[in-house]
Amino acid sequence: MNDELLQVLRRPPRERADAARNRARVLDAAARLFAEGGVEALTVDAVARAAEVGKGTVFRRFGDKSGLVAALLDQRERELQERIVFGGPPLGPGAPARERALAFLDAYLTHLADHLDLVRLSETSAPGARYRVGSYVFWHRHLAILCADRPDPDHLAHVLLGTVDADLNAELRERGYDWDRIRAGVATTVGALLGPAPRA
């Protein structure tokens, strides 16, 4: 058994103790700064300073600012993901695809309403950031599976997620839309897209 093989056995080379400690510190500092000064106070420099850590450390851990913010949201999103996988219908398994998709997007809108600024920041702080974040991949796969009987489930899932784009919805809010109107619009859209006619 050679070294390469051993290398492969312990999959993730395990994070060093100082690295783990600093990750926690940074996340902590970021949460604190956001709580105090909102999204505006969330500059990488400020976070690094508050965490008593070098700036380079923040970027090594989280890739870029978008990744840092995504990590900040991760906890909340994980809860929704678990409800989808293990919870009861209509969010969890058991309900018809259309109901599940609707329940998911509705739940996601609640999440969005609660954390609009953060989600928007993580989605707009770099081109393409939205689609690379782990949670987007999860949502997308979930919806694609629910659309399996459509002509192009993968594309359709992206379109459905487009309705909950943070930047769009932030803009709609600024133009006076209330969340109920957005919810209704999304529901109508889902109804039409996953509607009765499964297409040949």
Partner DNA sequence: AGCTTAACCGGACCAAAGTCCGTTTGTCCA
Partner DNA sequence: TGGACAAACGGACTTTGGTCCGGTTAAGCT
Q: In the complex, which residues of this chain contact its own copies (CB under 8 A)?
A: 120, 124, 127-128, 130-131, 150-152, 155-156, 158-159, 162-163, 165, 167-168, 170-172, 174, 177, 181-182, 184-185, 188-189, 192-193, 195, 197, 199
Give least dist CB 125 to DNA, A: 6
d(CA 138, CA 140): 5
d(CA 110, CA 103): 11
The interface partner of residue 54, options being DNA, its own copies, none and the CB cut-off 5 to 8 Å by kind, is: DNA
Scan residues 8-27 and list those touching DNA (CB under 7 A). 13-19, 21-22
Token readout for 173 is 């809010």
Cβ(166)–Cβ(70) below 8 Å:
no
Residues in the interface with DNA (CB under 7 A) total 27
Give least dist CB 38 to its own copies, A: 14
Tell me 39's DSSP state: G
Q: Which one of the spans 44-52, 138-146, 158-166, 184-192 is the region binding DNA (CB under 7 A)?
A: 44-52
Asked if 124 interacts with DNA (CB under 7 A), we say no
Token readout for 45 is 């420099």
- Measured over the CA atoms of residue 184, residue 149, residue 166 and residue 76, the dihedral's sign is positive
Among 24, 28, 37, 43, binds DNA (CB under 7 A): 43
Shortest CA distance to 122 belongs to which of 25, 34, 11, 16? Answer: 34
